[in-house]
Every structure is written in C-alpha cells, then in structure tokens.
Structure 1
Amino acid sequence: MLQQFGFTQYESQVYQSLITVDQPLDATSIVKRSKVPRSKVYEVLHRMIEKGIILETTIEKKRLYTALPIDSMVEKLKADFEMNVQQLRNTKVKETPVDDRVWTLKDDQSIQAFMKDLLENAETSIFLSGWADDIAKYLPIVEGKYRSGIPVNIHVIGEIKSAIPTISTLVPDIEHETLERSRILIVDNMEMLFAGIEDEKWQAIRTQSRPLVKFFTEFFYHDVALTEITEKYRDTVMRDKDIREVLLKLRY
C-alpha cells in the first residue's frame, strides 16, 4: 500500500493491518495481521511513530497502536512531497561548461519533463518539431516565450491553433499515419533533444555538441522545406506514384 511512496514493505504491511481494523491493536495482534516477524515489529513501529503515520497509547501498561486516518495520510504525503520538491528546487546547481557528449534518456514522462525544462530556460531561440497532440502540450510555454520576444519556429504534423506565425503545418494523408512519431527541440542554437519511438517506447538523445545541434537545425529546415513543397505542389506530387512513394518514406 505504501511502498510506492517510499515506505518499506514491513511499514506498508503494518499500516494496512491497522487501517483495515476499527480498533487499536497491540504488537501481538499486529504481528498476526501484518505477518511482520515478531523480532522486527517493534523496530518497525518505532520508525512509523517517528514518521508520524501511526499513533500509540498506553492503557493499563499495555501499548496500543492505531493508524493515521487515510485522509490525513494523503495530506501528509502531499505535504512531504511538496517540501521535498521545494528542497530540490533550492539545490544549488553548479555552472558547467558546454557538454558535447551525447546523452540518452528513456521514459516518455522524463523526456517531456526535460523538454519543458529546456523550453522554460530558452533565452534566444526555439526550434520545435513534432505531432500536433505533442506540440500542444508545450504551446503555453512556447507562446509565452514568443510574446517575450524570443524567435520561435515550429514544424507540426497535424493542425494546431496558435498566434505564432512561424508554424509550418503538414496535414498528413492516410499514408503518413505509418510514420513513426518523433520530437525535435533546439534551444538557443546550443542544445538539442531528439526523441523517437523504438520498440514501442520513447527514447531520446540530448547534446550540446555544436555539429549535432547544427545538423538537427538543418534537419528541421529540411522538414519545413518538404512540407512547403508538398503543400504547394500536392496535386502534382501526389499524382506521381514514384514521387509520392519517395516523399512518404522521408521523415517529416
């Protein structure tokens, strides 16, 4: 029950044994209900008392224990989380030189969080490419940067609504649905992140390597050029089977 919040298995078992009964329990009863070894139960109870997640009392020389109510526990977990987040935010980060190594990053939530962080810290320019439902997640940040005077260029597959004028939009044909999703983010012409799906899972690379940043910036313009050509000459290129097949093989 509580392991996903950083508590031990024994702590979780003791809490569950207490919260699922409507009366206080002594240590012997807790051992029976929780299956925590008798040799460990007092140590576990002491830790939980110190953490404020169980209450104790002594009646006729007998110690009894009860659990912090679920609603109170939820509030405590939220408060602890917010305090830990604030401590993390207050951690002093050392300034580092340009890092031209290529770093890999897995897990979609981590990739999205890293992209938001890059966008929020952008100071001179933003290049952003991806599918419409992906781009929409970052629009509030990007539009805020645009309003502050930072040049923003977006290439999007699918339509989005935005006041940013420098958006290149590719409205996909049915054939485009087979294209694998990807994201490109380049900030301040000095740091880039490229994310794609491999084995049905998002993976990304991030670097400040100048050659790679330049390559992916050119790759961004390559996508924009292909989109503009395809849109302007759609009737011509889509009627030509060979040209259409080549275009649909290219990664937008």
Structure 2
Amino acid sequence: MSQQSVIDELGRLGMSGYEAKAYVALVAAGTPLNGYEVAKRSGVPRSTVYETLGKLVTRGAAYEVRAGEASVGYLSLPPSALLDRMRREFDASMDALSDALPQIAAPTQVRIVHNLTDRESLLDRAEDVVAAARDDLFVSGWPGEIAPLKTSARRAEAEGVDVSVVSFGEDDEPVGRTTVHRYSSPEVVLENLGCRLLVVAADREQAVIGGVVGDDAWGVYTDDPAVVLVAVEYVRHDIALHLVAEKLAPDDFEHFWENEPALRRLRDDHGIPAALLQLGTARPPRRRRR
C-alpha cells in the first residue's frame, strides 16, 4: 500500500487531509521533526503546519518532544497504538449510536427503492445487506458476483446468521449452506434470463435484486416487505427444488425437467426478463425453446 493510500484510509477514519499527511510524514521519519521538516516532507503548507501538528497532538496521534527551550519537535504515536485508539473510539461511537438512533427514529412512512446503475454499486449495496444480516441471509447468484460478498457472509455466519446460498456454477470455497444450481445449467439459465441475476435478502427486511450483463449491471435496493418476501421465496424455492430432486431417481427427474410441457412453456421467453428491465428497450419477440 502506498503512502497516499494510507493517507486516504486515515481520511476515512476522520483525519483531515493535512493531519493524515503530517502523521504519515512523522511515522516515516521515525525521529522527531520540527514544523519546517514536517511541511517539507508532507506537503502541508508551512502556514498551517503548526496548526495541523497541534491538532494531531490534541487527537493523541502525536506528541511534542522538547530538545531545549527554543526547540520543539514532534513524534508520532506508534501506528499500532493509534489504530487501537481509533478502534476503541469507533466502537464506543457505534455503541452509543446503536442505543440513541432507534430512540429518535420515526416509524417508516415510505419504503425505500434505490436504483443501482452499475456493477460496483450493485455489489457494494449487496455487501451492505449481507453485513446487516442478524438472523438469516439468502443469496442467489453466479460465483463472480457471490465472491465479493463472501468475507461479510462468513463474518455473519460466525456471528450466528443462518446463511443460505444458491450458486449458478461450482464454487470451490462455498459459504454457508450452498446449493449448486443444477436444473438448468448456468448457461441455460443465463440464456433464459438474459443476465446473471443476483438476489440478496437479509432478515426478511431488506434486499438487493439486480442483473449483470458483461461488465454492466442494473438493480434495486429495497426494504419494501412485499419485494423482500418475493426475493426470499425465490431463493427458498430453488433450494427446495434441489432437495426434492435429490430424493428422486436422477434419470426420472432429468426426463421430467426436460420434457414436461408445463415446464417447457415457462422457459419459452429466452432473455425477455432482463430485456424488459433495460429502460427504453422494446419487448423482444418471443422465441420458442428448441
């Protein structure tokens, strides 16, 4: 990680840009520096460097070292000590907010529906949902979209969350109770849907539903109970189908799956579900499944 990356991360934890730059300069020096030296090494303007160093001292991220009556240097708090302090402060703030925010929150009047317009925002919001799970978590998707969610999903599982996953493709490092979708193959499902569908639902309270086509994606985040219920039941029914199939003779189920007219009718609209979600796209012509 570069020094600029460290500065950026410290900024995310509450340091100003100048404070982060000055602190990194002190850490990299490993020896007391005066204000002029800090400004020269960090890029903090000389006009504000002493104010910045004073803020670091007040924060406890640095302290003054006096070599004489007229000579003052600054030395950084060791990084491990600073990170421990930040972690304690963050945890204390989170505990306080966990108690205070629910007390001032008004009852929900309007349900949220937030549009997601690219793959990064889709996966970021999906990870938010995974991280928020406290009781149960349902995930359905392709391995490429599930992979970025695994760290948070494993953390949730370790905290007692019941994690259920449907993977459209083999997964060498499954998380939770993973069911590999076998009816139909990922390639056939992709053809039927026209996209790699991702569904993530936590605690029957919030969900992300979206589709990925190549590097493009679209989707929604919502806490609408009706939509969340549909998302959960979509995943649950896929899992139930596979549990039933495992109890039947493989050849019998394969024949039923491939040849049952009612099922074949449901697979007629290749690609239409995803196409209808693309704004301004006309409904494609129906194609019969071969």
TM-score normalised by structure 2 residue count: 0.58
Work out which of the residue numbers 252, 255, 258 in structure 2 matches 1:237.
Answer: 258
Query: Which of 20, 26, 37 is residue 28 of structure 2 equivalent to?
Result: 20
- Per-residue CA shift, 1:168-204, capped at 9, x if unaligned? 943553624845131153755x765423336445743
Separation in structure 2 between the aligned mates of residue 237 and residue 226 of structure 1, nearest angstrom: 15
Equivalent of 1:173, from 185, 205, 222? 185
Q: What residue identity is the alignment partner of 1:108?
A: L
Residues 60-75 of structure 1 aligned to structure 2 (within 5 Å): 60-75=69-84
Shift, 1:18, TM fit: 1.9
Gaps of 5+ in 1: 147-151
Given the two structures, how large is their TM-score scaled by the length of structure 1? 0.65
Match of 1:120 among 100, 111, 134: 134
| Correspondence 1:104 to 2:115 | yes
Select between 196-205 and 71-80 the one with higher mean Cα deviation. 196-205
Q: Deviations over 1:97-152 (max 9, x none)?
A: 363442336352432232452x4256xxx8654457849955875xx677xxxxx9
1:48 aligns with 2:56: yes
Distance 1:73 1:107, change over 3 A: farther
Which of 29, 44, 48 matches 2:37?
A: 29
Question: Would you say the 8 A contact 1:196–1:204 is kept in 2?
Answer: no
Amino acid at match of 2:209: F
Q: CA deviation at 1:26?
A: 1.7
Which segment is superposed worse, 40-49 or 199-208? 199-208
Q: Secondary structure at the match of 2:196?
A: coil
Equivalent in the alignment of 1:149 = none
SS at structure 1 position matched to 2:72: strand
Distance of aligned partners of 1:77 and 1:114 in 2 relative to their CA distance in 1, 3 Å threshold: same
Distance 1:172 1:76, change over 3 A: farther
Equivalent positions of 1:71-86 (< 5 A) are 71-86=80-95
Partner Cα distance (1:132, 1:185) in 2: 17
Specify whether residues 108 and 153 from structure 1 end up closer, same or farther in structure 2 by C-alpha distance, changes over 3 A only: closer
2:278 maps to none
- Pair 209,23 (structure 1): closer, same or farther in 2 beyond 3 Å: closer
CA deviation after TM superposition for structure 1 residue 56, in Å: 0.2
Number of residues paired by the alignment?
A: 235
Aligned-partner residue type, residue 180 of structure 1? R
Equivalent residues in 2 for 1:180-195, closer than 5 Å: 180-185=196-201, 188=204, 192-195=207-210
**Counterpart in the other structure of 1:208:** 224
Which residue type is aligned with residue 170 of structure 1?
R
* Aligned counterparts of 1:88 and 1:8: Cα–Cα separation in 2: 23
Structure 2 unaligned blocks of 5 or more: 1-5, 275-290
Distance 1:251 1:83 in 2: 46
Q: State, as a whole percentage, how many aligned pairs show the same letter.
A: 21
Inter-partner Cα distance in structure 1 for 2:143 and 2:128? 18
Counterpart secondary structure, 1:4: helix
Contact 1:101–1:209 (CA<8 Å) still a contact in 2?
no
CA distance in 2, matches of 1:226, 1:82: 43
